[in-house]
Amino acid sequence: MSGETIGMLLAITSGMLSLVGLISIFISMNSQHNVQRSREILWSIFTLPYKKNLFLEKGAIGQEVFRTFLLYEQIINEKNTFLRRIISFAQITLTFCGLIWTTIVGYLLKQSFSSVERSILLFCVILADIFVLYFIIKIFGLLTSTSKVGRLPTVNELLDADILTAGSNIITLASVSSQLKIVNSEIYIGFPIPFKNLMVHISIQDTVESSESPVEKNYNFDLVNGIKDFKKLDYREFKLLDDDYCYYPIYDLSAFEKGVAQNSIFAKVELLSKQGYVSTEFYFEGLLTVNNTNFVIYPYSFIERFINRKSELDPFSRYIKRSGKSIDKETEWFNTGKSFLALFDEE
């Protein structure tokens, strides 16, 4: 192999690498657009439960949650065939360049070089091949996934109420977008999408005076003693009734059958996960009978407690840090539920 041949091969690889550089700029711009759009949607998801006049339009929050999650899913899981072909072309080009460099160095190693020069050549080609493999497998491989490029949660991770990520408030989102559906004597809780790892408990109180406002009532927060009454919902076993919500049976109104005539019923639904605890209040009146009924009740207020936001501004996060607890064990605290109050009992 002559010097002119080696020079020509190196010139070819230089041109191919320049082309790969231009391709990389195009891929980065395209990926950055999807990442930025996905991040904006993610921010809107996290701020949904705190919109002004949230419960004025009955059922609107559920429709908004479904629409936003669907849009996020479409962007995150977008399959751009043209972009994948460009990435494959760049990977093949880099592989070809690596082969040329290895061939040239292999030829030069057969020449009469000193051991030091041979070691330098061998080290350089190995290092170059490692960089080529890294770009082929790691860099260009990740560019096909919007979630990996932007370090954004996948759709399955976003639906999981046990995953502790910065700003994640899926349990609150599930709570405010929920609705109760009464079919005959059965109460179902419904969500616009199948959230994962939710524990639910409902308490029903029959208010004798229908005009009495449930907002003024005082219901004690006793999570430690009530944790055993929570039921874990299996997101794979939801039911479809007469709409697109995911429904789970959680209560039987038969016990109130004799006492609900012209009375109002106040329901408090508590949701629990590793992200925290949220209670949502429902109020409905004029229930003449629990038989032959089929209607929906929407929430009118919610309360968050011990939501893990992983922020220096969050009081609960600061309290955990001040208590000297190991961050690696936080999932164990949230899993038991009792740990919420156990932290405060130590004071």
Q: Tens digits of per-residue pLDDT, 6-23?
A: 788 888 888 888 888 887
Between 218 and 266, name the one with better pLDDT: 266
* pLDDT in the model for residue 222: 56
310 lies in a domain? no
Q: Tens digits of per-residue pLDDT, 153-162?
A: 888 888 888 8
Q: What is the mean pLDDT of residues 338-345?
A: 47
Structural contact between residues 248 and 200, judged by C-beta atoms closer than 8 angstroms: yes
**Amino acid found at 134:** Y
Q: Which residue, among 259, 260, 267, 266, has the nearest Cα to 286 in the 3D structure? A: 260
Residues 123, 58 share a domain: yes
* C-alpha–C-alpha distance, residues 293 and 59, integer Å: 19
Residues 281, 176 share a domain: yes
336 lies in a domain? no
* Beta partners for residue 276, in sequence order: 273
Q: What is the mean pLDDT of residues 321-331?
A: 54
30 lies in a domain? yes
Residues 111, 39 share a domain: yes
Q: What is the mean pLDDT of the chain?
A: 76
Share of the chain above pLDDT 90, in %: 9
Q: Tens digits of per-residue pLDDT, 90-141?
A: 888 888 888 888 888 887 777 767 778 778 888 888 888 888 888 877 777 7
Residues 259, 141 share a domain: no
Number of independent structural domains in the chain: 2
* C-alpha–C-alpha distance, residues 82 and 190, integer Å: 40
325 lies in a domain? no
Residues 202, 253 share a domain: yes
Q: Which residue, among 269, 270, 281, has the nearest Cα to 306 in the 3D structure? A: 270
* pLDDT in the model for residue 292: 60
Domain boundary among 83, 115, 149: 149
27 lies in a domain? yes
Domain boundary among 94, 117, 149: 149
60 lies in a domain? yes
Residues 241, 113 share a domain: no
Structural contact between residues 278 and 271, judged by C-beta atoms closer than 8 angstroms: yes
Residues 141, 8 share a domain: yes
* C-alpha–C-alpha distance, residues 303 and 170, integer Å: 14
* pLDDT in the model for residue 336: 36
Range(s) of the domain holding residue 198:
169-305
330 lies in a domain? no
Residues 141, 24 share a domain: yes
Residues 100, 173 share a domain: no
Residues 140, 187 share a domain: no
* pLDDT in the model for residue 323: 67
Strands (E) located in the chain: 179-183, 186-191, 198-207, 231-233, 246-252, 263-273, 276-287, 294-297, 299-305
Residues 180, 63 share a domain: no
Residues 145, 196 share a domain: no
Residues whose CB falls within 8 Å of the CB of residue 213, separated by 6 or more in sequence, listed in order: none
260 lies in a domain? yes
